[in-house]
Structure 1
Amino acid sequence: MAGRQFAWSGAALLQLLLGVNLIVMPPTQARSLRFVTLLYRHGDRSPVKTYPKDPYQEDEWPQGFGQLTKEGMQQHWELGQALRQRYQGFLNTSYHRQEVYVRSTDFDRTLMSAEANLAGLFPPNGMQRFNPNISWQPIPVHTVPIAEDRQFLDMVANETGLTDVTLETVWNVYDTLFCEQTHGLVLPPWASPRTMQRLSRLKDFSFRFLFGIYEQAEKARLQGGVLLAQIRKNLTLMATSSQLPKLLVYSAHDTTLVALQMALDVYNGEQAPYASCHIFELYQEDNGNFSVEMYFRNESDKAPWPLVLPGCPHRCPLQDFLHLTEPVVPKNWQQECQLASGPADTEVIVALAVCGSILFLLIVLLLTVLFRIQAQPPGYRHVADGEDHA
């Protein structure tokens, strides 16, 4: 009897364990990458402009000022290769237009950077190779039209020939010298390593002045907040309907990157290098919820650095990401950018002035008519031309 009871208890225990196993272990999905947004700076370029006394004017550069160089093309091809490796298994090995959308500012250097990047990201293979001698395929890139101390600054003005030395012009001088030095051109004697270092510090200060220091939160809303608003919208859309491509790319400038990172409060205080890339990755967790991870690739020989949004862990829940970034997103950008006495106020003032003038003229006209009537002698009647006389 005891043996039969033990056997029954063992069978019941086995059945119970199997039953619990079936109930407690429902099928789960692994954490998966669902969507990626990239914002990168164009590659190495020639100077945008130069200073009057610079011995290297525009004809020194093969394609002129502000153009992508061969070094810049190589930088973005390598970034494309790195992205291809990072997202292996997420993106198809060959280009599919439904998976990728690339948007660029309307500048030669950003358009060409995007094209060089795509050449590294999606080299043609098989049927996509239209010419056996060309390891490249055309992929669309979309765009829309454009629309420190005083003595030191005096020295810069004297040596460069600039008449108006500001933070912006000092930035341009440093940028020009940096481009020339990068491409092996001999700098003038006054551009010593110490001078270059001081110019670099002023350049970094100009970025902070442009995007921060004074009214930083307001600047963040009106500068980087605009792009951040679109990124937030895309993240939300992909978490609810998955109607966007897997990869969304923005090819832009150092100022674009800095503005965005200032809005996110992750800016490190330095100019974004050529071909640097800010990465947003949207993951679906095994419980079905979504999270956002950010990275910044600013060195080609190192993996992207994790970026942490203040107030959230690196693996930031999407709802927390949206909540924390809400204050720096403008509700009505055009209205918020207007001055206290903006165009709308001016129009109202002008309209009131015109109406007041018209009303004043009508009153004057009415009084004139009344005075003339009162001035006429009794029995006077105006006879129109052609009227019969009695």
Structure 2
Amino acid sequence: MLPIVLLLLAVGSLPGKGTAGKKLEYVTVLFRHGDRSPVKAYPTDPHQESAWPQGFGQLSQEGMRQHLELGQFLRKRYDGFLNESYVRHEISVRSTDYDRTLMSAEANLAGLYPPNGEQVFSPNIKWQPIPVHTVPQSEERLLAFPQRDCPRFEELMKETEQTEEFINITAANKDIMELVRNKTGLKTTTVDSVWSVYDTLFCESHHNKSAPDWVTPSVWAKLRFLKDFGFRVLFGVYNQQEKSRLQGGILLGEIVKNLSRAAVSEETQRLKMMMLSAHDTTVAALQVSLNVFNGRQPPYASCHMIELYSDDGGSMSVSMFYRNDSTVEPYALQLPGCSIDCPLEEFVKITKLSLSDDRERECQVASSGNNKEVIITLAVSGCLLLVLIVILFLSIIRHKEPLGNQGYRRITNHGVAEES
């Protein structure tokens, strides 16, 4: 019986094949880049940037293979939905402006669209160039999180550090944080810096570089726990929904807008897939805003798929799947408050709570101190304006001729003034 159930679950995860009468209309896929070198090394790390073939933060050959495989998976999953050959109207690809995310997108597309027929431009290479769009890192507002341009979010982070959960966890891990500070040469250690050290050690161990003696299995487990806790601190733990409105809700809002647009589009050459190449924090931020985050760092080449379906009656529904293990089928994600196949109107209604109508306004910090400064500024400006008006009035009076019984002086043709 169990194998039959597993088979049904696997078939149910295939787009358009789980329920009779359903038709796939549009897909958004968001994935993390593949395996990479560390972003940086800690001061006492024996493996500095020169130890890595392309330097820090670069996609490795394993990372390239991971995304080639993911692209091949997407080809099988969406075969019959996406044209076998690349058609520019069907897919749009967006990446953050990092080498590792740009290269991951390119490797992924090599697996998704191996050239055939007229698209083979050289018999010696099974590849074709496909455009990947990006914006400069300083202008990225869609795929890079957390965004540090929001005073209210920074205030929320400070408030998060005052919560009972944060205080208890940091207190319980005070010894490991002190150990990290002593062994790495860092001046201070926080949840963020411990997360960074874990990432460096993880990359090194994954690439067969020896770990320091102080990294015992017990230490390793605690570092991994603090790393995952760091993700929850960024996007949850305290006022999760407000954080989402200021962070992952930005991307969620764009996805919802695209789903709604695709639901009413009647164009014959309309977009079928939006592919987004980004980071672990991007995937986590989106999943937290959807309230489906499992609390663990999204692994390399993990992929979140959001699929829009129509049925025979014209109704639209949204299904979500998460692939964080290439050895098993993606598992379905259920939006809280809705079914696995969530009606589009319900999906839009539920997710609206995580979207900001005016992020710029919501990012501002309204405090009594700021209000006092505004009042003082207005008062000073009012006083200065009043002084200027008085000065102008006196100046006008000073330049007028005196009036009264003195009469006026008439100038004769001879230039002699006569009294009149």
Alignment of 1:1-390 (within 5 A): 30-147=21-138, 148=170, 149-243=173-267, 244-341=270-367, 352=378, 355-356=381-382, 358-359=384-385, 361-362=387-388, 365=391
TM-score of the pair, normalised by structure 2: 0.78
Distance across 1 between alignment mates of 2:318 and 2:84: 24
Q: Any stretches of 5+ residues in structure 2 without a counterpart?
A: 1-19, 139-169, 400-405, 407-414
Seen in structure 2, the aligned counterparts of structure 1 residues 354 and 73 have a Cα distance that, compared at 3 Å, is farther
Shift of 1:96: 0.6
Q: Which has the larger radius of gyration?
A: 1
**Residue 159 of structure 2 aligns with which residue?**
none
Q: Per-residue displacement from partner, 1:160-218 (whole Å, max 9, x unpaired)?
A: 00002111111100000000000000011011221111000000111111110111110
SS at match of 2:137: coil
After TM superposition, give the deviation of residue 31 of structure 1 in Å.
Answer: 2.0
3-state DSSP of counterpart to 2:124: coil
**In 1: Cα distance, 2:335 partner to 2:284 partner:** 15
Shift of 1:62: 0.9
In the aligned structure 1, how far is the partner of 2:324 from the partner of 2:266?
Answer: 30
> What is the rounded CA distance, in whole Å, between the counterparts of 2:209 and 2:216 in structure 1?
14
Give 1:30 deviation, angstroms: 3.3
Taking structure 1 as reference, are residues 91 and 363 closer, same or farther at Cα in structure 2, changes over 3 Å only? closer
Structure 1 window deviating more from structure 2 (67-76 vs 243-252): it is 243-252
C-alpha distance in 1 between matches for 2:416 and 2:35: 96
Change (3 A) 1:242 1:165: farther
One-letter code of the match for 1:267? F
In structure 2, C-alpha distance between the alignment counterparts of 1:87 and 1:367, rounded to whole Å: 79
The secondary structure found in structure 1 opposite 2:348 is helix
Corresponding residue for 2:7? none
In structure 2, how many angstroms separate the alpha carbons of the residues matched to 1:334 and 1:240?
30
Describe the SS at the equivalent of 1:143.
coil
Following superposition, the deviation at residue 335 of structure 1 comes to 1.1
Return the alpha-carbon distance in structure 1 between the equivalents of residues 256 and 372 of structure 2.
Answer: 35
Match of 1:13 in 2: none
TM superposition shift of 1:337: 1.1
Q: Percent identity?
A: 56
| Count of residues paired in the alignment | 348
Q: Alpha-carbon deviation of 1:292?
A: 0.6
1:351 is displaced (CA, Å) by 6.0
Paired amino acid for 2:257 = K
Pair 1:246–1:366, CA change in 2 (3 A): closer
1:322 is paired with a residue whose SS is: helix
Q: Taking structure 1 as the reference length, what is the TM-score of the superposition?
A: 0.84
Measure, in 2, the Cα distance between the counterparts of 1:68 and 1:298.
18
